[in-house]
Structure 1
Amino acid sequence: MEVSGLTWTLTTLFVVGMLLFDFLFHARRPHTPGIRESALWSALYTSIALAFGLFVLGSWGGHYAAQYYAGYITELSLSVDNLFVFLIIMASFKVPRQSQQEVLLFGIVVSLIFRSALIFVGAAAINAFSWVFYIFGVILLVTAGSTLKEAIGTDDEEESENFFIRLVRGVFHTSDTYDGNKLFTELDGKRALTPMLLVMVAIGGTDVLFALDSIPAIFGLTQEVFLVFTAVVFSLMGLKQLFFLIDGLLDRLIYLSYGLAAILGFIAVKLILHALHQNSLPFINDGDHVTVIEITTQMSLVFILGVLVVTVAVSLFSPRGRAMAIIRATEDLAEKYLALPPEAAVAERTKLNNQLAAKLSKMPQIPDHLKSELIENEQHYRDLLKRAHGQHQDFLAQTAREG
């Protein structure tokens, strides 16, 4: 696959232009994107990614277009999984909703930098040493096992993030409160780090680990550097808008980790088979190539799409997924009600209260064992609902007295 320097230059300029536009017109204007805004921008970024695949099809043929689409879908699914970790980090730092756009954009830029560096390092290693495929395969097998373990285990990621917060705050002079989107502020006459800077450092650190997982995965689908780079870039570009679009669905994708473990395991097997096919290691088959079945790009694309469709469908329509949706909705609505300013309109308060009541009416449908499993802190959950209900009752009483 021959890619001209002009094509590389134009592609890079286009990516940089998109990032600058996003930063200047969205992230620098703190606000919480609505569903309509997020949906429009997500559709735009997805359309650009799909259209680029058509450009690959027209320029280099269907074989490379299939590689690009397989890589893009895989990287996008891994990126969605990363959003869960971003959620945990931002919740730990209590990032204001209107500032989350800037935090996510920072995470995306850091991801692009780390992954771009690893792409070229990985490509150079592959060109020089074909046995690198063995290493990539083992990395993905370990990652698949770790992903599966986290899905069925009890690893407390939030606790690890809290440990990180305690460590940083023990070393540096930090502020407990945000100062808009500023990274530094004045506290007791001293220059202090704001939580905004701390959360960006935390997300940047996790991006390094994400890159170590994602780059071997896509090299298992294509070894064309241009396709690897563009698939990674386009999977990350729309991640911020996708976050706000599916924020309410993230907790419902309860089996996504199982699907990702299957995809990573599949690609690992594909890599190892490819390494055996090109084997040059003297202690394997005396350094000769091993005759094995090669998994085609078309087979990879069908498998990846099939696993994702089944995973999402089972997550959304399973009893556990529906229960999670109800519980998450009651928490969100209660928090939104408690966050209302004193001057909030009667119609807005009434609407939120009615929505909360409607969701609470569905709670008896949830089996007790699912409630105890899905509600992490039952006392906190009950107190949250009680405070929201009590605040609405106080509001009604005050309105009656004034009337």
Structure 2
Amino acid sequence: MSVSPLVWGLTIVAILGLLAFDFFFHVRKAHVPTLKEAAVWSAIYVGFAVLFGLGVLLFGGGQMGSEYFAGYITEKALSVDNLFVFLIIMASFKVPREDQQKVLLFGIVFALIARTGFILLGAALINQFAWVFYIFGLILLLTAGNLLKGEDEDEEVDNFVIRLAKRFLHTSDHYDGDKLFTIENGKKVMTPMLLVMVAIGGTDILFALDSIPAIFGLTQNTFIVFTATAFSLMGLRQLFFLIDGLLDRLIYLSYGLSAILAFIGVKLILHALHENNLPFINEGEHVNVVEVSIGLSLSVILGVLLITVLASLLSPAGKAHAIIANARRHAQAYLDADYTKDPNERERLYAELMEAREQLTTLPEKYREKAREETPLVDLLHQVKESHDAASQRGEVSPPTNHTF
């Protein structure tokens, strides 16, 4: 089904309108969103995506609607996985929590621009060269293998993008609110905020190399590819704050994504064989192979995600991993709290750290022993206690509790 230029125009205007609304009504004034605010707006954006999908189903038919939902769910899952890297980047640059919304919104906008470019390029290549499906399939199979091996993508991003940016962009050592430039020693210099956005933008390009072949494996309709990708990015900022504490709990998500990408990769290669025109494969003739229906694709994607998410949430190992990771992150954030201008931020971080510490005591002995043996975590906790005791003596924070580390 072809989509008229009017529908294209209205859709693009609606997406730009949502981004503008997000900026002017939520991000423009720096603040830390409450759990309620994040939950409500996450639900609203998911609702928009579902309503749009129902509209596609109504006006475009079952095939087009199924392709949209399969693409949206896959891209949303990949976006959640991307949040892990965003979390690492913002922690590395010690971005004040009240300014993280602006960084995330920039990441969403840049991701949308980058992926739109890849979508247009991918659509042009597919229309001209059927063998591109072989390349897309191989890309997804390699990506699935990397996820299965547990390669540290976060470290790769940190080493390449961030170091490259630090080398060529001279910045100040401190933030000036959410400004990109500031005056230091009478000279105009870039703040770390600009460096963070460069790092986020670089990772967005890397993510697009995986996500675009994945959705082209589910549909070749450019309108569906674009809208499913765009709506999967909408609400990602709110989702970050909503599931911040749960991100480390999803320990099996990478395995689920690996299975999904491998499945789509095989689907792409089967489709490439069906459309084959390469002379060295079956003498340039089409190969009679079974093609995977969009209904089966949607079922596999939903099934794999459901299993991996439930396994992560119900797993004792997942719970222990999340509690230890949260304690480490809260401790590091507390020690870096001098970067924030929010007077209540240090108290909030300390309260969250105390909650994480209490949760550590509820873990089975083998996991508590693992936490005690993790030297960086133990050192961080001792540093927090010393810092909080000193701040309390200066009257900057409430007196410390009787907790011991």
Counting only pairs closer than 5 Å after superposition, residues 274-289 of structure 1 correspond to structure 2 as 274-289=271-286
Instruction: Name the counterpart of 2:49.
Output: 49
Give, in angstroms, the shift of residue 172 of structure 1. 3.5
Partner of 1:191: 188
Q: Distance in 1 between matches of 2:206 and 2:225?
A: 18
In 2: Cα distance, 1:368 partner to 1:350 partner: 20
Deviations 1:52-75 (A, max 9, x none): 111011101111111100000000
Counterpart in the other structure of 2:296: 299
Q: For residue 113 of structure 1, what is the aligned residue in structure 2?
A: 113
| Aligned AA (2:148) | L
Q: Which residue of 2 aligns with 1:261?
A: 258
Residues 133 and 111 (structure 1), Cα distance of their counterparts in 2 relative to 1, 3 Å cut: same
Question: 2:179 matched to 1:176?
Answer: no
Instruction: Please say if residues 326 and 362 of structure 1, whose CA atoms lie closer than 8 Å, have aligned partners that are also in contact.
Output: no
Quote the offset at 1:160 in angstroms: 5.5
Given the alignment, which residue of 197, 200, 216 partners 2:197?
200
SS at match of 1:367: helix
**Aligned mates of 1:257, 1:319 — CA distance in 2:** 17
**194, 208, 211: which one pairs with 1:211?**
208
Once the two structures are TM-superposed, the CA of residue 318 in structure 1 deviates from its matched residue by 1.3
Partner of 2:76: 76
Structure 2 partner of 1:321: 318
* Alpha-carbon distance in 2 for matches of 1:281, 1:353: 59
SS in 1 for 2:249: coil
Match of 2:380 in 1: 381
Aligned in 2, Cα 1:164/1:236: closer, same or farther, shift over 3 Å?
Answer: closer
Report the count of equivalent residues.
394
Q: Partners in 2 of 1:396 and 1:18 — Cα distance?
A: 41
- Which residues of 2 match residues 30-179 of structure 1 at below 5 A? 30-149=30-149, 151=150, 153=151, 155=152, 157-158=154-155, 161=158, 164-179=161-176
- Answer yes or no: is 1:19 the counterpart of 2:44: no
Amino acid at match of 2:359: K
Tell me, yes or no, if structure 1 residue 221 matches structure 2 residue 218. yes
Query: How far apart, in 1, do the equivalents of 2:161 and 2:124 lie?
Result: 35
SS of structure 2 residue aligned to 1:251: helix
- CA separation in 2, counterparts of 1:86 and 1:298? 33
The one-letter code sitting in structure 2 at the alignment partner of 1:383 is H
CA shift at 1:326, angstroms?
Answer: 2.4
Question: How far, CA to CA, are the matches of 1:76 and 1:136 in structure 2?
Answer: 19
2:36 is aligned with what amino acid?
R
| 3-state SS of 2:189 partner | strand
The 2-side partners of 1:102 and 1:356 are apart by 27
* Cα drift, residue 168 of structure 1: 3.6
Q: How many Å separate the matches in 2 of 1:145 and 1:191?
A: 46
Q: Partners of 1:91 and 1:271 in 2: how far apart?
A: 37
Aligned-partner Cα distance in 2 for 1:172–1:228? 35
> 1:335, CA displacement in angstroms?
6.3
Instruction: State whether structure 2 residue 246 is matched by structure 1 residue 249.
Output: yes
Q: Which amino acid aligns with 2:120?
A: F
Task: Name the stretch that deviates more: 157-166 or 307-316.
Answer: 157-166
Offset at residue 358 of structure 1 (A): 3.1
- Given that 1:334 and 1:388 are in contact with CA atoms closer than 8 Å, whether structure 2 keeps it comes out as no
Write the letter of the residue equivalent to 2:114: F
Amino acid in the other structure paired with 2:314: F
Q: Note if contact 1:335-1:384 (Cα within 8 Å) is conserved in structure 2.
A: no
- In structure 2, distance between residues paired with 1:342 and 1:243: 20
Residue segments in structure 2 that go unaligned for 5+ positions in a row:
none
